């Protein structure tokens, strides 16, 4: 004899299945954010905020100074917080320039700190991208 499936149980099971399909998984989010950008030729750190512009957040000055020194690396990293979605933002480097979000966004700051640390350890851009993807995507 087959167990009887009540209408309530059937609808509950269907609802749970639909919800499971709609909830994004961690890897699916990585596809939404897109690939890492190609670093732009001749990119510099001249637009990265300076210590004078960061007077209200002095604890961030060392990070911004470090980002300014490696723009060719940071420009090849896609920021996973969503702030690179507007057309004027190209890469994680954009988050550290003018009105970028790194001044207030812990995700931008965390990615920047990881990039700086791995670069100091001698990692390549591809290795840094893989580490960023593993931790933030």
Sign of the dihedral through C-alpha 43, 37, 80, 120: negative
Question: Could you report the per-residue pLDDT of 53-105, keeping only the tens digit for each?
Answer: 999 999 999 999 999 999 999 999 998 886 656 667 889 999 999 877 899 99
Question: Could you report the per-residue pLDDT of 15-63, keeping only the tens digit for each?
Answer: 555 444 444 444 333 333 568 999 999 999 999 999 999 999 999 999 9
Q: How far apart are CA 22 and CA 45, in angstroms?
A: 40
Task: Give residue 50's Cα distance to chain centre.
Answer: 22
Q: How far apart are CA 80 and CA 112, in angstroms?
A: 11
Answer with the residue of higher pLDDT: 6 or 61: 61
Q: For the whole prediction, is pTM greater than 0.75?
A: no
131 CB contacts (<8 Å, ≥6 apart)?
A: 114, 118, 123
- Cα separation values, 31 from 18, 78, 80, 106, Å: 21, 12, 11, 21
């Amino acid at each position: 004899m087959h167990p009887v499936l009540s209408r309530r149980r059937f609808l509950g099971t269907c609802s749970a299945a639909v919800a499971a399909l709609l909830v994004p998984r961690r890897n699916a989010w990585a596809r939404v954010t897109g690939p890492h950008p190609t670093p732009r030729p001749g990119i510099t750190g001249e637009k990265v905020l300076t210590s004078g512009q960061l007077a209200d957040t002095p604890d961030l000055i060392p990070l911004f100074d470090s980002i300014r020194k490696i723009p060719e690396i940071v420009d090849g990293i896609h920021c996973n917080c969503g702030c690179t979605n507007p057309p004027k933002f190209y890469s994680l480097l954009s988050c550290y320039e003018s009105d970028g979000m790194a001044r207030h966004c812990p995700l931008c700051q965390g990615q920047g700190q990881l990039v700086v640390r791995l670069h100091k350890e001698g990692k390549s851009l591809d290795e840094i991208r893989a580490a960023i993807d593993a931790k933030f995507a």
